């Protein structure tokens, strides 16, 4: 794979990852007249939960459901420059033009955290971090599930590359690669793409998972994910796909009507820690998992695919890398809405048993 890094007209970084042997050199310049990137992101800490909340009002003006002929993620053509100056690409990553977090956010002044309107209970800080867009293919009408296994393997290397790069940035505490697919999920650009967030804090979900992992290790002397994985493989009732290095299963306490966890058999903290063989093996297994998902309702399944990685500076001996794929579609034409219990109390109520959905997924394709 060839890696080529350059800059867009407003100074944002763009990196091309080419796996096609005869791919041209990436020398095209961004001809757009773009204003300098400005981000007003900040984070505020909820005094009741201790959780950080991001404020990014500038994102209100981001591109919203453009027609295919004006898609900003397609390659540039004469007379219509896009976010990608080249006329073709394999996989490309660039800094988001409307980021939730940005390394360019200015200090508020003074030292350390400031407060909101003098209220010391509510801390605030610059929303420093990084947000990147990952385009999986130049084909606007494709999807991740239609990628070849070698291309999925390339995307694995891209995720690992960007995780390493972001982890080296002093303002970033956790790196989160993910893909949103489908309008029902809230996708505003239909071109096959994902994103990578570099957070300036450890996310609440990860904090909670590390707390549970630490408590379980102290009590049992073993990692909780290792025991979960062994139990799922032995029971078999919730398995969807297995391979030499990975297992995909519906978790026994699934929150969503469709939810699959893809877990490596070896405890590793993040994507860069995977071996070449583990990355190869994931590509084939994940391609099969996506076929099951799209066959479940005989339609493209809207989903979120979220990589759970260890934070940059802590919990790396406790975390166990895994991919969580879930959908809000509970039947072919019915959505699961987060009602009072889920939204108000974070107590999930699932309308289908994990065992039933696992069996349906296994038989789907």
Q: Please tell me the distance from the alpha carbon of residue 188 to that of residue 244, in angstroms, as a whole number.
A: 37
The helix/strand/coil state of 233 is: helix
- Please report the pLDDT score of residue 64 as a whole number: 67
CA atoms within 13 A on the CB side of 90: 25
Give 19's Cβ-side CA count (13 Å radius).
17
- The per-residue b/e assignment along 9-33, b for 16 or more CB within 10 angstroms, e otherwise, is eeebebbbbbbeeebeebebebeee
Measured between alpha carbons, how far is residue 132 from residues 152, 183, 198, 207 in Å?
Answer: 18, 20, 9, 23
Collapsed DSSP state (helix, strand, coil) of residue 73: coil
3-state DSSP call for residue 167? Answer: helix
| Low-confidence stretches of the chain (pLDDT beneath 70) | 60-61, 64, 109-112
pLDDT digits (tens, 9 = 90+) for 131-181: 999 999 999 999 999 999 999 999 999 999 999 999 999 999 999 999 999
The β-bridge partners of 249 are 239, 261
CA–CA distance, 129 with 105 (Å, rounded to integer): 9
Kindly list the catalytic residues.
Answer: 193
Question: Which domains are present in the chain?
Answer: 2-201 (3.30.428.10), 205-364 (3.30.428.10)
pTM: 0.96
Task: Please give the pLDDT value at position 333.
Answer: 92
- Strand ranges across the sheet with 119-126: 52-55, 42-45, 119-126, 114-116
Q: Quote the pLDDT of residue 109.
A: 66
Q: Say how far apart CA 140 and CA 137 lie, in whole Å.
A: 8
200-218 exposure pattern, b = at least 16 Cβ within 10 A, e = fewer: bbbbeebbebbeebeebee
């Amino acid at each position: 794979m060839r890696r080529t890094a350059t800059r867009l007209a407003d100074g944002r970084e763009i990196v091309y990852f080419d796996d096609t042997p005869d791919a041209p050199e990436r020398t095209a310049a961004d001809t757009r007249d773009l204003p300098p990137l400005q981000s007003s992101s900040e984070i505020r800490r909820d005094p009741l939960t201790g959780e950080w909340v991001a404020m990014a009002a500038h994102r209100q003006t981001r591109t919203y459901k453009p027609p295919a002929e004006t898609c900003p993620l397609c390659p540039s053509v004469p007379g219509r420059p896009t976010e990608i100056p080249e006329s073709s690409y394999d996989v490309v990553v660039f800094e988001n033009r409307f980021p939730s977090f940005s390394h360019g956010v200015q200090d508020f002044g003074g030292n350390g955290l400031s407060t909101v309107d003098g209220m010391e209970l509510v801390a605030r800080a610059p929303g420093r971090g990084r947000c990147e867009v990952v385009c999986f293919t130049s084909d606007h009408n494709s999807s991740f599930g239609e990628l070849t296994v070698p291309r999925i393997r390339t995307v694995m290397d891209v995720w690992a590359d960007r995780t390493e790069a972001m982890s080296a940035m002093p303002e970033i505490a956790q790196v989160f690669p993910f893909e949103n697919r489908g309008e029902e999920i809230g996708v505003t650009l239909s071109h096959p793409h994902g994103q990578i967030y570099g957070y300036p804090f450890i996310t609440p979900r990860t904090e909670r998972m590390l707390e549970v992992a630490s408590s379980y290790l102290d009590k049992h002397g073993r990692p909780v994910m290792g025991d979960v994985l062994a139990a799922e493989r032995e029971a078999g009732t919730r398995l969807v796909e297995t391979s030499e290095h990975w297992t995909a299963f519906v978790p026994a306490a699934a929150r969503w009507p469709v939810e699959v966890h893809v877990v490596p058999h070896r405890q590793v903290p993040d994507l860069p820690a995977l071996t070449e063989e583990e990355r190869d093996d994931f590509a084939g297994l994940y391609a099969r998992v996506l076929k099951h998902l799209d066959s479940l309702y005989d339609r493209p399944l809207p989903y979120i695919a979220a990589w759970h990685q260890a934070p940059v500076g802590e919990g790396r001996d406790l975390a166990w890398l895994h991919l969580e794929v879930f959908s809000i579609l509970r039947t072919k034409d019915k959505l699961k809405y987060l009602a009072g219990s889920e939204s108000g109390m974070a107590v999930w109520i699932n309308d289908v048993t994990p065992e039933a959905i696992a069996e349906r997924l296994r038989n789907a394709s």
